[in-house]
Amino acid sequence: MASMLHEVEVGSQSLASYASLVDQALIDEILELAKGLKGCRLLHLSATSYGGGVAELLRSEVPLQRDLGLHADWKVIHADEKFFSVTKAFHNALQGAEYTLTEEAKETYLTYNTRNAQQLEEAYDCIIVHDPQPAAIPALRGKDGSKWVWRCHIDTSYPNPQVWAFLKPFIAFYDGVIFTMGQFVPSDIGVREVALIAPAIDPLAPKNMDIPLEMCRRIINSIGVDVDRPLITQVSRFDPWKDPCGVVDAYRIAKKEFPDLQLAMVGSMALDDPESWRIYSMIREYVQDDKDAHVFTNFIGVGNVEVNAFQRLSQVGVQKSIREGFGLVVSETLWKGTPMVAGRAGGIPIQLEDGVSGYLIDNVEQCADRIIDLLKDRDLARKMGERGREKVRREFLMPRLVRDKLAFLRSLH
Q: For the chain, which domains are there?
A: 6-200+397-412 (3.40.50.2000), 213-395 (3.40.50.2000)
What confidence score (pLDDT) does residue 49 get?
86
| Torsion sign, CA atoms 110, 113, 115, 121 | negative
Distance CA 367, CA 341 (A): 7
What confidence score (pLDDT) does residue 271 get?
64
Mean pLDDT in consecutive groups of 10 residues from the start of the chain, 413 residues? 77 96 97 96 93 89 98 95 94 94 97 96 95 97 94 95 97 96 93 95 97 96 96 93 96 98 89 80 94 90 93 98 94 98 96 97 98 98 98 98 97 86
What confidence score (pLDDT) does residue 269 get?
76
Contact residues for 251 (Cβ-Cβ < 8 A; gap 6+): 232, 261, 263, 293, 368, 371
pTM of the model: 0.93
Contact between residue 155 and residue 323 where contact means Cβ atoms under 8 Å apart: yes
Query: What is the layout of strands, in order, in the sheet containing 340-343?
Result: 293-297, 262-267, 231-235, 316-319, 340-343, 358-361
Distance CA 249, CA 229 (A): 19
Task: Give, in order, the Cα–Cα distances in Å from 374 to each of 15, 92, 259, 285, 359.
Answer: 36, 32, 15, 28, 10
What confidence score (pLDDT) does residue 275 get?
81
Task: Give, in order, the Cα–Cα distances in Å from 242 to each of 40, 247, 333, 369.
Answer: 38, 9, 16, 19
What confidence score (pLDDT) does residue 53 get?
86
If one counts every other C-beta atom within 10 angstroms of the C-beta of residue 395, the result is 13
The per-residue b/e assignment along 222-248, b for 16 or more CB within 10 angstroms, e otherwise, is eeebebeebbbbbbbbbbbbbbbbbbb
Distance CA 344, CA 354 (A): 9
Contact between residue 76 and residue 155 where contact means Cβ atoms under 8 Å apart: no
Contact residues for 261 (Cβ-Cβ < 8 A; gap 6+): 229, 230, 231, 232, 251, 254, 255, 292, 375
Distance CA 174, CA 29 (A): 27
